[in-house]
Chain A
Amino acid sequence: MQPILKVQSLHKTYRVRVGLLKRKNVPVLTDISFCLGKGETIAVIGETGAGKSTLAKLLAGAEQAETGQILLDGTTIEDDGVRQDHCRHIRMIFQDPTRSLNPGLTIGEILDDCLSYNTELTHKQRDKKIAHVLIRVGLLEEHYHYYPHMFSGGQLQRVALARALILDPKVLVLDEALSSLDPSVRAQTVNLLLALQRETGLSYVLITHHLSLVKHMSDSLLVLNKGKVVEYGKTAQVFAQPKSKVMKRLLNV
């Protein structure tokens, strides 16, 4: 089966100023490769500073890699740092929904912006699509006119999900999107994500440090340490027989 997302030997370095004139290259990600099938979830775990968030940004197109390719559905969308298509098929949800939504726009305007900049739909079609997507994430059509401060944290994460889904992406990157939620709301959000995956065959890249969620939601697992892949395999297998030191340490606690 053709994987929906394929990442081949991705490298990323940051330039850091050392002294007055010198610059140093600090590698953040070295040689990252993985595949993700349709309707599957890959979880990325690792300690802070392991490069998880950088990987998320690279996938979503917020930053460019030095070398390496990202293939979506068989076509190359990023080749050695040159991006072909922007933020249409790989969408991202951030950690804190209260800070990742514009407080000055209504929910409808936020969603409408996504559509008007990325698609050629008419005004009427856009409105119809927004209403559709709001219902799909478990909100109401009337929420079009609401501002972000009128929602609770869990509902805001739904709005963020709606913003990600409105362009009909193939892959969703969840960068700690579930960790700031309360347990009962988190269970609801997980249920929603799982239902969406079942119905539409969406793929997720789940970045989290919540191991029990990883176990429950993901099919394969990527363990990062200092920018390198230390373990990659089926989730159940990695959990049953961890090979790397990092994974063993994570499982012990």
Chain B
Amino acid sequence: MHLLDIKNLTIELPTENGVIRAVDKVNLSLKEGEVHALVGESGSGKSLIAKAIVGVLNKRWRVTADRMHWQGVDLMRLPPEKRRKLVSQDIAMIYQEPSRSLDPTAKVFEQVSESIPEESLSGNFLVRRQLRKKRVKALLHKVGIRDDKRVADSYPHELSEGICQKVMIAMAIARNPKLLIADEPTTALESTTRAQVFRLLKSLNQLKNMSVLMISHELEEITTWSHAMHVLYCGQMVEAGPTEKVFNAPLHPYTQALVKSLPDYAQGLAHKESFYALKGTIPPLQHLPIGCRLGPRCPQAQKQCVVTPKQKKSHGHTFACHFPLLKEDKKCNPS
């Protein structure tokens, strides 16, 4: 059964100059124990989708979906209190910029111990306090913080960005969530700490069977261990499917451009040679083109592209393009 099943998620922002549709009919489904990657450039609505799932979006945003099922329960139709309870039990989220999303007025110990569920502790007041201390220590150790005493006793501004990020992860895994949504967890980190964080998430996924929804704009770092990949462009899902298929045989011109802009994966690119890059820049949300939003930048755009392409599916590989890229046929007998 699907853990999370979302169909036609649309997120809109009503403004004076009309409605801005920041996320346009996105489908997403996730099974237990799977790692999914959500890839896209800034302004493509990745974080919005994550926030809509957890339900922490600002009231100004209008979220609609045909269905948004969490283990068979439709989150959109639940009353807010129930929804909050359900989400807080099973879903955890790591936010962007950890030093900003931690409470600056509380020490790390308080913040981490706050996220430990009360039900998991037993005994009287004093015993529980001891247990709590032990749990915080264990959690900090688990995410790779060695001097737990110093870290637990300091405020977020006294710690480096990398350690703040690890504290965020410790808080997120305190409840043993079934799904962890990681919103660009490694942008602030350098490569060695980044690898540590990935190793940690990977081991949690394998040992605890925790599903992970990774949000990132760096393709190369998540492709090695995610099962499926969703590529977003300006709020439209352009391509989705098993990572290997999407990465090795992209059908959408945008995915192809993303893959080709990685020096390690652009085959046959000589040293210091130009990359393959799409022209132009990402349009701002106020001036989105109609139809396929890649249209003005797409090298293969034609007249039909002013109509929004329907999502087509073949062998679990979804794409939304009128003119998908064709695989080069291997000739059996070259003459």
Contact = CB atoms under 8 A, between A and B. Distances in A.
Nearest to A152: B281
B261 A186 contact: yes
A154 B261 CA distance: 15
B257 interface: yes
A45 to B, nearest CB: 9
A77 B190 CA distance: 33
Interface in A187-208: 187-188, 190-191, 194-195, 197-198
A184 B191 contact: no
Given A194-B272, A212-B263, A183 B41 contact: yes
Interface residues of B, number: 30
Given A183-B218, A183-B219, A253-B194, A216 B277 contact: no
Interface in A32-72: 47-48
B195 interface: yes
Interface residues of A, number: 31
Interface string B268-298: 0101111111100110100000000000000
Contacts of B219: 183
Contact of B277 (A47, A191, A209): A191
B275 A185 contact: no
A contacts with B: majority SS: helix
B42 interface: yes
A184 B277 contact: yes
B218 A213 contact: no
Contact of A183 (B192, B194, B261): B261
B217 interface: yes
Contacts of B264: 212, 215
A182 interface: yes
Contacts of A182: 41-42, 217, 282
A83 to B, nearest CB: 30
Contacts of A184: 41, 257-258, 261, 277-278, 282
Given A184-B261, A187-B277, A216-B271, A209 B42 contact: no
B110 interface: no
B217 A209 contact: no
Given A183-B261, A212-B264, A188 B191 contact: no
A185 B40 CA distance: 12
Report which residue of B42, B218, B281 has the largest number of chain A beta carbons within 10 angstroms of its beta carbon.
Answer: B281
Contacts of A140: none
Contacts of B269: 216
Contacts of B274: 191, 194-195
30 contacts: A47-B190, A47-B191, A47-B192, A153-B42, A182-B41, A182-B282, A183-B41, A183-B258, A183-B262, A184-B257, A185-B282, A187-B261, A187-B275, A188-B277, A191-B274, A194-B274, A198-B272, A209-B191, A212-B220, A212-B262, A212-B263, A212-B264, A213-B263, A215-B263, A216-B269, A216-B271, A236-B271, A249-B192, A252-B195, A253-B195
Interface of B: 41-42, 190-192, 194-195, 217-220, 257-258, 260-264, 269, 271-278, 281-282, 284
Interface of A: 47-48, 152-155, 182-188, 190-191, 194-195, 197-198, 209, 211-213, 215-217, 236, 249-250, 252-253
